[in-house]
Structure 1
Amino acid sequence: MRYEMMLPRQIRTAIAANTPVVLPLGVLEYHGEHLGVGMDTLAVTRALDLLEKEAELVILPPFYYGAASYAVEPPEGTGSVQVDSTALHPFARELFTGLLRVGFRNIHAFIHHQTENFATGMPTDLAFKFGARQAIFAFLEKTRGEGWWGDAKMADYYAQQAGGGDPFNWIKIHPLMTRETIGQYPFDHAGEGETSLMLAMCPEAVDMSLISEERWYTQSAREATAATGARGRDLILAHMRRVLGLPEAATG
């Protein structure tokens, strides 16, 4: 279900069912001459298009305006849009606060941009992680009062935490590709891996005739195939199903 299309009664039903609420999180960044600048976000949105056919999800409008940086190319004529993380963090905090006030307690964001460093964090995912934590702390203090954690009702907090049921699991930020996925699939910037993903998931954002040999990071893109991309797509979908608590894909 697309959030912007939902009726209030459908929102209430999703809240009661604890349906996963998913934010596609990304950037607009130069990916060579042969790929669309929205590649990092399109990988997330197209994966969600597929998951939406399998299970109940609430899919929020995608956020494309992350911290792309100009590390790859300057923006003039290339299309990269850089929004500093200092602006992203307050936005994330307010967005997550709003979603908590609506009533959602099973909120997830998926990001592909710069996630080879996800364990330590990069500007966009760190801004949204910090915003999520601040939103949860403020929401709990507002709704439960100061001293909420020390209250006798929280005596089972550590048991809840071990089982994933504590309030700090209300909002989770995930990489689109885990370390395990990266070990099985070429992870790159506009090379074979990302070009293959787009050939499989969003072919209208690819023009193979424009691949340039001038930039080192696009040289492997000529090896890209839709079949390779389908393998990456399946690894991504399996990971997303696991973290969202969805059934595994049917086989046979």
Structure 2
Amino acid sequence: MISYNVFSLSLMVSTLLPVAGFVIIILLSFFEKEVNILEIENRRVCLEHDLQQSQFMQLNQQIQPHFLFNTLNAITSLGRLGRLEDSVKAVENLSLFLRYNYMEKEPLVTFEKELKHTENYLCIQKTRFGEKLQTVIEIDSKARDTLLPPYTLQTLVENAFKHGLDKKTGQKFLKISLYRQGNWASLIVTDNGPELRIEEAFLSSGIGLKNLRKRLEMTFDMRTELKIQRKEEMTEASIVWPYTPEVKL
């Protein structure tokens, strides 16, 4: 004969089991939906990342013909002046310039690579202008190992010539400065070209500065800055980005 306690326990179990089963089914359905949502979100993030990488590579590809066009103009001017030896030297520098352009595919490169690449461009300009062009390079040893998007320095230097030094008569001055302030790196290109409106520099520079600003925003999650200002009859183009040292294995 079944006791009252056993009967009560059996009744409670038989009543709660369906309820518990129903709750478990609901929870399993909920977790399954959560997993599906996470999978969808993960796919979305991956697609956005792939799209961003694709856009970044497109920007890198756009910037190369832009520089090539301006460099070829400089070499053409040497030929028109009958400076054949200088033209040959400029073509040699251009070949090194192009080698960097078509081999470098990483989203970040060392500043040393950027500087060496830009020096090839400066050699062409020095051949073109001779002693009228003076260049100064100042590099903070604490910032030398930083990484930055490719063609960053080249963009600022090319902009200095296109909107300033090409229009400057007499002595031409260009200064490249790299500094580090805490967790931030700062790159400044200064020239003594004639004054220009800030809006004009961005609107008429084609893909140069606008391209660089977009690439900085896409590369770094933290604050970046790109600006041009006039200081004491000098034009100063500068960028600020998170200091990112090269990891040496």
- TM-score, with normalisation over the residues of structure 2? 0.23
More strand by share: 2
RCO comparison, higher one (Cα < 8 Å, 6+): 1
Q: Which of 1 and 2 has greater Rg?
A: 2
More helix by share: 2
- TM-score, with normalisation over the residues of structure 1? 0.23
